[in-house]
Structure 1
Amino acid sequence: MKVLVLQCKRFEILKRILDSFDVRCLKDADDNFLNSAEVVLAHSWKKLESVLPKLKNLKMIQAFSAGVDHYHFEKIPENVIVCTNSGGNSWGVAEHAVALIFAALKKMIYRHNEMLKGRFPQMLESKLLRGKVVGLMGLGNIARDLSAMLRGFHPHFMGISRSGKCDFCDDFMFVGTVKQIDFLLKNSDIVVLALPLTKSTKGLINMEKLQLMKKDAILVNVSRGKIIVEEDLYEFLKNNTNFTAALDAWWHYGERFKQNYPFEKLSNVILSPHCAGSYEGFWDELTIWAAENIKLFAQGKPRNVVKRGDYV
């Protein structure tokens, strides 16, 4: 099987795992190879889009990222399957979610800033995770790893997934479908968004949903910014100062941090620059995960196959 790699960082890992495959970097692939390549490992949509017309024998696109909301599926032939890289960095993202949760519970940013000003807010009460209800929206790899990490602190768990099924949720208080999101939001002390951005999840958390949540709840987003309505979250936070949002995903990206609303001026926001998936060794882990899925595809059992209807 011929595999085209669009960015050749960690190429030696790919060659080792795919030792029986013909694997080539884009710079080393002539037109004959492009024409006959069956699999492409894509690190960006822009580069993939530029080479797609030459991939006449393409059968599978393996994304390097966990999300493919930036793909233009109308430009991908119907017979080509697309697989995300979900799970490749789930442990690192889950650890970051833990950090955000505790930063919010313990008011770490506020205390730090106060001490920089010479103040000493010793007796300001923080919250315990013990006994709190953690609502996980999305019951995939991140939620699996996150719940495993948090169990030692003895919270209660609730979860929502598209199917309403979960293979690691035996101790959860409640597992439901998106139709039951209101129940989860009303009863959770901490809500973690760990689900893909699709047609059905875009704008899922709006003013109506935010108003269902507890007044002192914590909302953690380690997925995609556009799952939340930007204006609604800003206005809600501005008017509900006991509510905390810990955000690692945003609506607008560039060299400087700038959203349509000045979240950085709010005292009840913890800001994180979409870095949950960037940690020591993450590139290796993602490369291994992607390569292993290409092998699974060759065996006829790939994981993380995208449903086009979720995006088109």
Structure 2
Amino acid sequence: MKIVFLYPLRRDAYDFLKEQLPEDIEIIAKIREKYEGLRPNEDPKIIKECKDATILMGPYVTEEILEHAAPSKGGNLKLILIPWTGVDRLNFDIMKKYEIPVANSHGNARTVAEHAIALLLAAAKNLIHHYLLLRRGDWSDRFSGNYPSLNITGKTVGLLGLGAIGTECAKLLQGFNVKIIACRENPEKTTKEQKKLVEKIYSSNHLHKFLNHTDIIINSLPLTEETKGIISEEEFQQMKKEVIVVNVGRGSTIDEQALYEAVKSGKIFAAGLDPQWHYPSRSNNKDENEPTYPSKYPIHEFDNVILSPHRAADLKMGYEEAHWDDVIKNILRVYKNQEPRNLVDLKKGY
């Protein structure tokens, strides 16, 4: 059995997988520390290796690769495995054309949820503004009331999305004496465990009613055609005055101009954002010293917006070692000719 990585893999991650998987599973990967030249999914040597690959790792799958790897083209491919939650970089039209199963991973859910709560508390207490002042020895805003704190105790927290991350957020919030409500596409999918954690669940068809009742919004939605820009100017108008917005889903689920205007007008008390709208170029010709701001609007200039460079799942021990339990389990399921778990609905895009 062969696994081919379509993105550069860190050496420690490669070594970790070699330790965890059976010896007869071959791993083909460009090592990130030595990586230069063509991207793996554009490298003819890697593409050639895809011919007899059983699993392709990562979302960077091209039609050229599937012309080599798909069973309909004589290949051995059984699964495209995304070792993280987001699948929005996949070309779903190609996936459907070649009828290749896709699975993702929810192993990072607890870590991302902890990051969401950290962003929430930092935003509620306006920590960044006062931190920046005190680094300069400036205590002038200490009791001025310009950037005050809010208690979250007694507030209504609205979870926009109740998947693995939203559920972990609900668990972490149990000790804060808050009311927890949620909004999801299909409330009928709510488990018994989730019903115990959340007081009320709204359908996405009643998004505005959900927003009317929330003091704090934690968004963990994936990016699909339906969720792109789901929070726009109209939705911000439905929110309470001085709402706190936390995003650990995908940046483009929130309209960036609408968020900028909502912060500028004071509609938003504070925000904590991990995913962004603009990212550094992956091009090897990119000037490393050239700044890449998170939005085309100057959101980064607001002291009451906590910005995180989409690193909620990054841990000291390494992403793979920390979060790949279910990835490894899925690899082993394919190895044993069993049905993989966490399969993505190719029609819905998540």
TM-score, scaled to structure 1: 0.88
> What secondary structure, in the 3-state scheme, does the structure 2 residue paired with 1:218 have?
strand
**Residue in structure 2 matched with residue 273 of structure 1 by the alignment:** 309
Question: For residue 292 of structure 2, what is the amino acid of its counterpart?
Answer: F
Maintained 8 Å contact 1:14/1:287: no
Taking a change above 3 Å as real, the CA distance of residues 38 and 249 of structure 1, as seen in their structure-2 partners, is same
**Residue in structure 2 matched with residue 45 of structure 1 by the alignment:** 60
Q: Answer yes or no: is 1:200 the counterpart of 2:192.
A: no
**Residue in structure 2 matched with residue 286 of structure 1 by the alignment:** 323
Maintained 8 Å contact 1:45/1:71: yes
1:290 CA drift (Å): 1.4
1:163 CA drift (Å): 1.8
1:96 CA drift (Å): 0.9
1:114 CA drift (Å): 3.6
Further displaced range: 266-275 or 27-36:
27-36
1:207 CA drift (Å): 0.4
**Residue in structure 2 matched with residue 94 of structure 1 by the alignment:** 113
**Residue in structure 2 matched with residue 143 of structure 1 by the alignment:** 166
Aligned residues: 309
Further displaced range: 101-110 or 67-76:
67-76
Which residue of the other structure, out of 83, 89, 94, is the alignment partner of 1:70?
89
Taking a change above 3 Å as real, the CA distance of residues 109 and 307 of structure 1, as seen in their structure-2 partners, is same
1:20 CA drift (Å): 6.7
Maintained 8 Å contact 1:59/1:81: yes
Further displaced range: 53-62 or 237-246:
237-246
**Residue in structure 2 matched with residue 109 of structure 1 by the alignment:** 128
**Residue in structure 1 matched with residue 26 of structure 2 by the alignment:** 23
**Residue in structure 2 matched with residue 119 of structure 1 by the alignment:** 140
**Residue in structure 1 matched with residue 38 of structure 2 by the alignment:** none
Between the aligned partners of 1:218 and 1:30, the Cα distance in structure 2 is: 46
Maintained 8 Å contact 2:171/2:197: no
**Residue in structure 2 matched with residue 166 of structure 1 by the alignment:** 190
**Residue in structure 2 matched with residue 176 of structure 1 by the alignment:** 202
> What secondary structure, in the 3-state scheme, does the structure 1 residue paired with 2:167 have?
helix
Between the aligned partners of 2:327 and 2:210, the Cα distance in structure 1 is: 33
1:156 CA drift (Å): 1.0
Alignment of 1:218-233 (within 5 A): 218-233=244-259
Maintained 8 Å contact 1:133/1:190: yes
1:61 CA drift (Å): 0.3
Taking a change above 3 Å as real, the CA distance of residues 203 and 33 of structure 1, as seen in their structure-2 partners, is closer
**Residue in structure 2 matched with residue 35 of structure 1 by the alignment:** 51
Taking a change above 3 Å as real, the CA distance of residues 219 and 32 of structure 1, as seen in their structure-2 partners, is closer
1:173 CA drift (Å): 1.9
Between the aligned partners of 1:241 and 1:137, the Cα distance in structure 2 is: 18
Task: Indicate the RMSD between aligned Cα atoms, in angstroms.
Answer: 2.6
Between the aligned partners of 2:325 and 2:19, the Cα distance in structure 1 is: 10
1:14 CA drift (Å): 2.5
> What secondary structure, in the 3-state scheme, does the structure 2 residue paired with 1:158 have?
strand
Further displaced range: 126-135 or 281-290:
281-290
Between the aligned partners of 1:119 and 1:31, the Cα distance in structure 2 is: 60
Structure 1 regions of 5+ residues with no counterpart? none
Between the aligned partners of 1:26 and 1:242, the Cα distance in structure 2 is: 44
Q: Answer yes or no: is 1:301 the counterpart of 2:301.
A: no
Maintained 8 Å contact 2:315/2:322: no
Between the aligned partners of 1:114 and 1:280, the Cα distance in structure 2 is: 29
Q: Share of identical aligned residues, percent?
A: 32
> What secondary structure, in the 3-state scheme, does the structure 1 residue paired with 2:347 have?
helix
Structure 2 regions of 5+ residues with no counterpart? 32-44, 70-74, 281-287
Maintained 8 Å contact 1:14/1:288: no
Between the aligned partners of 1:128 and 1:31, the Cα distance in structure 2 is: 54
Maintained 8 Å contact 1:2/1:36: yes
TM-score, scaled to structure 2: 0.79
1:145 CA drift (Å): 1.6
Which residue of the other structure, out of 79, 91, 104, is the alignment partner of 2:99?
79
**Residue in structure 2 matched with residue 237 of structure 1 by the alignment:** 263
Taking a change above 3 Å as real, the CA distance of residues 241 and 160 of structure 1, as seen in their structure-2 partners, is closer
Maintained 8 Å contact 1:13/1:287: no
1:111 CA drift (Å): 2.2
Between the aligned partners of 1:242 and 1:207, the Cα distance in structure 2 is: 12
Maintained 8 Å contact 1:129/1:155: yes
1:278 CA drift (Å): 1.3
